[in-house]
Structure 1
Amino acid sequence: MTDRAPRLFLKKVGLAALALALAAPAHSQGKPEPSPLPNIAGRHIQPSDLVNVQVFNAPEFTRVVRVSSEGAVRIPLVETPIKAVGLIASELEQRVADALKNENLLLNPLVSVTVVEYASRPISVAGAVKNPITFQTVHPLPLLEALTRAGGLDNEAGGEILISKRPATYGEPVTVRKISARKLLDEADPAANVMLEGGEEIRVPANPRVFVFGNVRSPGGFPVPYNSHLTVLKALSLAGGLNPSTRDEAFIVRRDEFGNEQIPTIDLKRLINREIPDMNLQPGDILYVVENKRRRMALTALDRVLTFGTMVGAGVIVVAAGR
């Protein structure tokens, strides 16, 4: 009887061990368990993302953690926080494996990292767009879609689109990327349609202006379209055309990169008669149309004579009607 009791006890222990082995989680028998939510290809980890860190045959290190505001994750028994921000999932796997080896916790760890939840991040579109907007995004989206959400570029949009992004870690510089509006919209260049991950600020500066002053009907500043040139004749047309007392002469006040003034002269009579080619104006140019004072004085005198004649004629008619 005394021999059967120990045998019975050992048999029960063996059955219990077998049951525990069969009930063990999948990650202790083979590769780490895949997450039902796959990583988004090329998406970098950012603060507040939720990541699932699995270490093969080491359940004490396996857990779901949220990336801190400083951009790091903490693993049990690992003293130093592991930087995760700016990395993709495969790069974070290597970081975790290196940390476990460097602190002599595991000899050759096999690590799997899956981003369970991407925190939504804002994208702002401002400047020369029809409807400035700020919206939240979880998945990456192309630049063209973000501009479409803002209603597209307006008539004063310049030739460049600026994309600035603040770094996830404090102290790093803000990155600014310039995209050509012509390549994005007119040439449909795929390289210009960059992918946005969230956290970007898109600014569309207004296009530079050309100023028309002097003897024109509606002086002022006029924008230079990003996809075309503004010539002298176009600028004069935007300014309402020439006044009758023009001297058929104009100047372009232009400053070079060193601040020196260049003042080319234009013969308006020959330009209008197509005897000389039309000139392209550069952003910031000032087109000044010169007034012919003698012609203005003559026109003023003629206008007074005509006005006086009209008044006299009206007076005669009134007197005749009074009689």
Structure 2
Amino acid sequence: MGSLRPEPNRRKRSPSLRRSAGRRSTSKGASGASGALSGALGFTSTLSEVDVIGSTEFDWRGELTPEGFLDGLDELPKPIFALCRSPEDVSKEIEVGYSRILRDPRVSVRIIDRSNRAVAVLDGAVRTPHRFRIQRRVSLVELLVSAGGLTDAAGGEIRIQRPRDLSCRERREATSDGESRPNVTIIKITDLLNGLPEANPIIVSGDIITVLEAYPIYVIGGVMRPGKIDSRSKVTLSRAISMSGGFSRSADKESIAIIRKEGGAGEILEVSLAKIENGEVDDPILKPFDIVDVREKGKPPKRPISDPEQISRRVGTGVSEYALKIID
């Protein structure tokens, strides 16, 4: 057990310091305790504990200050910076500090509660969007599998947004001049399926992962299967009609309207598929959210639709309603 050395001017203990009473054995090793829960000390929402082996007077439990220091260890000669450091490293520095007032102190630092850390969110074109509380190393693929995989609406990319100051990994990825790297990463699904390591990054607390959906194009009127088609690559007018089952018997190939809304203004492009087939005009490439209206013989033109929401209205689910999974 450590013995106190004389220290006439000991500073007053901070009110935030919380003692623990008579619950430890002197046989416990510092390395074993700190290694029991690996990982760096996180941000202010992580609850941590300092255990001076064989003594309860100098034990501490609390969170980090906004600047990243242990809040309340006033017996030490200087504040202990702990943000994103391992419990083992912090233990060693505390031992050095306590060696001024204790003989051969042995210190264990461990993380006891990560439940208040920011959750990672996975949504978009996955079968079951989820929130994840991450307590161990986890990859993008593992979370995608946990969410049931991709849906047919998935486009070609996955966006990972990493808010600043919510994870130690983001802090370590700061450049030498102190500026953070771009906090938005785009992963190509083809690279992920091909097993490229860089396409399967480690996900950390606070990450927002969105499997981007293919841009919709709407085909209505004189086609066999009117409705939405997903555009994962360039789609021409003739291909969009083919993807919708082709023309119906009542279709007027000479009268097709492409309704397009850009920058708040709408326009209607009149197209003749017969002229396209004869090579008289180019087959136009459709843009995301275009509406193709194949007019029908003997029927008056429909009232122009300027908003795709009139065709397919989606009601989003709030992130807070996603099921929470713990990755431990």
Query: Normalising by the residue count of structure 2, what TM-score does the alignment of the two structures yield?
Result: 0.54
Contact 2:158 2:211 in 1 (8 A): yes
Report the equivalent of 2:85. 88
Alignment-mate amino acid for residue 216 of structure 2: R
* Structure with more of its chain in helix, by fraction: 1
Equivalent residue in structure 1 for 2:197, among 190, 193, 208: 190
Report the equivalent of 1:248. 254
Equivalent residue in structure 1 for 2:42, among 29, 40, 45: 45
- Shift in CA distance, 242/183, structure 1 to aligned 2, threshold 3 Å: closer
- Shift in CA distance, 43/237, structure 1 to aligned 2, threshold 3 Å: farther
Give the CA deviation at 1:246.
Answer: 0.9
Task: Map residues 140-289 of structure 1 onto 2, 5 A cutoff.
Answer: 140-158=137-155, 159-165=157-163, 167-168=165-166, 177-182=184-189, 184-225=191-232, 228-244=233-249, 245-256=251-262, 258=263, 266-269=271-274, 271=276, 279-289=284-294
> Separation in 2 of the partners of 1:273 and 1:61?
91
Contact 1:35 1:116 in 2 (8 A): no
Report the equivalent of 2:7. none
Calculate the aligned-residue CA RMSD, in Å. Answer: 5.0
> Separation in 1 of the partners of 2:276 and 2:288?
21
Alignment-mate amino acid for residue 161 of structure 1: R
Question: Which of structures 1 and 2 has the larger relative contact order (alpha carbons within 8 angstroms, sep 6+)?
Answer: 2
Contact 2:90 2:109 in 1 (8 A): no
- Name stretches of at least 5 consecutive residues in structure 2 with no aligned partner: 4-25, 168-181, 302-328
Contact 2:60 2:73 in 1 (8 A): no
- Does residue 1:119 correspond to 2:114, yes or no? yes
Q: Deviations over 1:76-109 (max 9, x none)?
A: 4259975644x23289749968x96xxxx79xxx
Contact 1:43 1:197 in 2 (8 A): no
Query: Normalising by the residue count of structure 1, what TM-score does the alignment of the two structures yield?
Result: 0.55
> Separation in 2 of the partners of 1:222 and 1:148?
26
SS in 1 for 2:239: helix
> Separation in 2 of the partners of 1:43 and 1:280?
51
> Separation in 1 of the partners of 2:93 and 2:295?
74
> Separation in 1 of the partners of 2:225 and 2:150?
26
Give the CA deviation at 1:141.
Answer: 0.5
- Shift in CA distance, 39/166, structure 1 to aligned 2, threshold 3 Å: farther
Contact 1:215 1:289 in 2 (8 A): yes
Which segment is superposed worse, 178-187 or 76-85? Answer: 76-85
Alignment-mate amino acid for residue 48 of structure 1: T
Contact 2:159 2:209 in 1 (8 A): yes
Alignment-mate amino acid for residue 75 of structure 1: L
> Separation in 1 of the partners of 2:201 and 2:283?
38
- Shift in CA distance, 188/260, structure 1 to aligned 2, threshold 3 Å: farther
Contact 1:53 1:112 in 2 (8 A): yes
- Shift in CA distance, 273/84, structure 1 to aligned 2, threshold 3 Å: farther
Give the CA deviation at 1:209.
Answer: 0.8
> Separation in 1 of the partners of 2:135 and 2:227?
45
Please identify the structure whose Cα radius of gyration is greater. 1
Give the CA deviation at 1:153.
Answer: 1.3
> Separation in 2 of the partners of 1:240 and 1:45?
55
